Copies of this chain bind each other. A is one copy, B any other.
């Protein structure tokens, strides 16, 4: 974990190649920042990390340390190997997009995770034909026994982190979620940068 920390700029996306066996650390630098995360098979980017297939794999709403996320081809792609965040890391909620902010009353442009994903991949020359459901790292969406969901506030300490092991050669993509209306990044509505490293 002495690898270089790369910034995921506030309200922006970032993508990077990762080799099988390498580790990816995501740091919640300020403790309040949700990081939407996607992963793609480097050899065929239409094979992507699938929240719906992953839940069927580990048979939980959210992953525990030791659980692997799998692709739409049901192959392990990222394994959660360490987690100091105390957060369940939401698998249920869609990445925000432009229509989402229009529904929340925003007129005109609003940064959003969907566009950040596609822009980050485009920087690596990658285009994908749809927007997969995201793994919402550090996002606190509590559920109840009767199935109600809630927009929770952040629960992670500043500097806390998760570590994933890459199970195949992949491209990982992040968006420092620009949601500043709902409380998922804190009630201040202040969206911040986060960091990651590949090692």
Contacts and interface: CB of A to CB of B under 8 A. Distances in A.
Interface string A51-73: 11101100111100000000011
A50 interface: yes
A124 B18 CA distance: 40
Interface in A76-135: 88, 92-95, 97, 99-100, 102-103, 129-133
Interface residues of A, number: 38
A143 B59 CA distance: 9
A99 B73 CA distance: 6
A61 B147 contact: yes
Contacts of A52: 51, 92-95, 133
A129 B128 CA distance: 9
A149 interface: yes
Nearest to A132: B130
Nearest to A64: B147
Interface of A: 46, 50-53, 55-56, 59-62, 72-75, 88, 92-95, 97, 99-100, 102-103, 129-133, 143-145, 147-151
Given A55-B94, A74-B102, A143-B147, 13 more contacts: A46-B130, A52-B93, A52-B94, A53-B100, A55-B149, A56-B92, A56-B100, A59-B148, A60-B147, A61-B147, A72-B97, A75-B99, A129-B129
